[in-house]
A and B are shown apart, each in its own frame.
Chain A
Amino acid sequence: MGHGSGGRMSHDLIQRVFSAAFSNPALNQANDSARLTLPSGRIAVSTDCHIVAPLFFPGGDIGRLAVCGTVNDVAMSGAVPLYLTAGFILEEGLPIAVLERVVASMQAAAQEAGIQIVAGDTKVVEKGKADGLFITTAGVGWLPEGRQIGGELAAAGDQVLLSGPVGQHGMAVLAARGELGFQAEITSDVAPLNGLIQELLAAAPHTHVLRDPTRGGLATTLNEIAVQSQVSIRIDETAVPILPTVRTVCEMLGFDPLYVANEGKLIAIVPPEELPAALSALRAHPYGAQAAHIGTVQSQDPGRVLLRTQIGGTRLLDKLAGEMLPRIC
């Protein structure tokens, strides 16, 4: 418990675990705040709290999630993510070795994303007052001159792209909890997408919308865009990539993969003339290798997402109501 008191034990923890892993000039100043240099112009800021059980799951862990989640949120505005801060809430009794693994994973993700973790804080709470480890990250990115990307900018005629198969993260975490009664080889897709976005924007500079379909999945995020932009989005069910294992496990449990969380996918909405270039750029990057053109934006039925089903019918693709629950039979 002494690790959170601010005294010598806290100092030891910071030195041993955090400074060692995250070492960079801004952090090493060891002042109350990090002083940073930004290119001139606008900045983008985002913050996100991360909780996940279990802390480690196939394809990732809470540390990678905490870095990628915020990097992606900053990058979805078209900004170039530069710096991150991290706050840790530790439950008393969490092994230092676990913390070290998580922190190493954060540093690896930060390196991959090309960003620096420049400030942080740690608090320890009594056993039972938290679930192992919670991490809050905040990110700052630089918005290049003239870049206009937002959920409100989808326009009739635009084309909808998805960077890869949906449903992996949510199903990987669920399977990792070991409550399903069967083994499923599903790996989380958690990844920093700023590199992919850079390639996309170089090829399709007039991209209107970038969003990552995290909680609530593809369907919920598309609904948010349809409402924000006051357009309808028509999705072709057969065009949405889904891995066979994810599809099978979802079918068994009564989940719809279109509502399952992703942590390494993006939706890009681009003007029609930039569709071919955008799709090629996504597919040329490892995180977009299975990118697909999944739908179009239309002006009628504003605020609605419509799905053309695999047998050629049409139905509403609504946002998720509440928690997804396994069905009875």
Chain B
Amino acid sequence: MQFTAEFRDAALVHKGIEEIRRTVTRPWTLMEICGGQTHALLNTGLDEMLPPEIELVHGPGCPVCVTSLELIDKALAIAAQPNVIFTSYGDMLRVPGSHEDLFSLRARGAQVRVVYSPLDAVRIARENPDHQVVFFAIGFETTAPANAASLLQAHALGLKNYSLLVSHVCVPPAMHAILGSPTCRVQGFLAAGHVCAVMGYQEYLPIAEQYRVPMSVTGFEPLDLVQGILLTVRQLEAGTHEVQNAYSRAVTLQGNLGAQAIISRVFQPCDRNWRGIGPIPMSGWGLRPEWAAYDAEQRFSVAHIQTQESPICIAGQILQGLKKPPQCPAFGQQCTPETPLGATMVSSEGACAAYYRYGRSR
């Protein structure tokens, strides 16, 4: 494909890996923030081509994985109600709640629809005025502008039957949580390119300074990943801790100001519970009070949800880079994509799903 083929060029990738090999003198542990990067590393086999000194641990940047069990149970409770059309990105349908997933609910007759964009959900609301249409607004900073725009569009259209079940999370608070933990192993970060395309990377500068940890804003093609790793390793070897941009074709320091304006019109920071990790203060976005009418949690009474997480699943430790999927006793045994115990095994960005799918059982 044009504009991506260049970033998959085998010769250039090999040249980059050679450069990393020449630069590295001792072991370093890097975390790629985004699950899309984890999948790209394994999908291309890049993980096994890097010099052995470089260990990549996988970060929390899988929105499906960190969406709290409580919210998934709320989604299930809303979707099960008569007269509701529940819309979601496809990834969420297989994610296990306490007792079932949205797929099984759909099989029993609930109206659960996969949409490619939240604006499709608005269209469904317009076409079905006698139904309540709910969109599961999950994701990091990347999906927030489109999700916010859907609310503004519904508002402009005067739709009374559209609401959002919001579970937005933000990267910087999660980085603080990881770096502030006494068990933290991460020495350098590959920051998530898509998130930075929206937010820029200004907010990462104080994190790099506070924890003296270098990072590179990194894209998703093999050459992007190699470049991000190379820049971070060079800093580690030199003992510097700056934020460098290895994804300049998509990311600027300031980010997408228009998208940020839409986000702040609709959302405001709030505390968020991360699946497997726990509560992180001011780590997410919720609807601003003036948009309460579009809040599905208020529109449907789903306040009293009891959740039950699998006691075996170690997804939380995996999402913090403390463990890797094959270290879980359930990996590939009780827990497979067909019978997942945690969201990391079913999401297209989940680390466990990547290890299982691409045959990395070590």
The docked-state distance in angstroms from the alpha carbon of A310 to that of B138 is 33
The docked-state distance in angstroms from the alpha carbon of A181 to that of B4 is 22
- A301 nearest in chain B by CB position: B359
The docked-state distance in angstroms from the alpha carbon of A10 to that of B1 is 53
Choose among B64, B91, B357 the residue that contacts A318 (Cβ–Cβ < 8 A): B357
B14 contacts A312, CB within 8 Å? yes
> What is the 8 Å Cβ interface bit string for chain A, positions 309-325, against chain B (1 contact, 0 not)?
11111111010011001
Q: B155: CB under 8 A from chain A?
A: no
Task: Quote the shortest CB–CB distance from B111 to chain A (angstroms).
Answer: 15
> What is the 8 Å Cβ interface bit string for chain B, positions 97-119, against chain A (1 contact, 0 not)?
00000000000000000101100
Q: B142: CB under 8 A from chain A?
A: yes
Choose among B36, B43, B94, B336 the residue that contacts A329 (Cβ–Cβ < 8 A): B36
Task: Quote the shortest CB–CB distance from A236 to chain B (angstroms).
Answer: 12
Q: B139: CB under 8 A from chain A?
A: yes
Task: Quote the shortest CB–CB distance from B257 to chain A (angstroms).
Answer: 20
B91 contacts A316, CB within 8 Å? no
Residues in B neighbouring A2, C-beta threshold 8 A: none
The answer to whether A316 and B46 touch (CB under 8 A), given A181-B120, A251-B4, A328-B64, is no
Choose among B43, B139, B348, B359 the residue that contacts A304 (Cβ–Cβ < 8 A): B359
A316 contacts B358, CB within 8 Å? yes
Q: B10: CB under 8 A from chain A?
A: yes
The answer to whether A318 and B44 touch (CB under 8 A), given A325-B90, A328-B139, is no
> What is the 8 Å Cβ interface bit string for chain B, positions 40-60, against chain A (1 contact, 0 not)?
001111111100000000000
Task: Quote the shortest CB–CB distance from A235 to chain B (angstroms).
Answer: 13
B8 contacts A310, CB within 8 Å? yes
The docked-state distance in angstroms from the alpha carbon of A328 to that of B64 is 8
- A251 nearest in chain B by CB position: B1
Residues in A neighbouring B91, C-beta threshold 8 A: 325-328
Q: A49: CB under 8 A from chain B?
A: no
Task: Quote the shortest CB–CB distance from A125 to chain B (angstroms).
Answer: 19
The answer to whether A309 and B359 touch (CB under 8 A), given A248-B1, A251-B1, A326-B89, is no
- A325 nearest in chain B by CB position: B90
Choose among A310, A314, A321 the residue that contacts B337 (Cβ–Cβ < 8 A): A321
Q: A247: CB under 8 A from chain B?
A: yes
The answer to whether A318 and B139 touch (CB under 8 A), given A181-B117, A325-B114, is no
A325 contacts B14, CB within 8 Å? no
Residues in A neighbouring B116, C-beta threshold 8 A: 179-181, 253, 326
Residues in A neighbouring B64, C-beta threshold 8 A: 328
The 4 closest A-B pairs by CB, nearest first: A313-B45, A316-B359, A325-B90, A321-B337
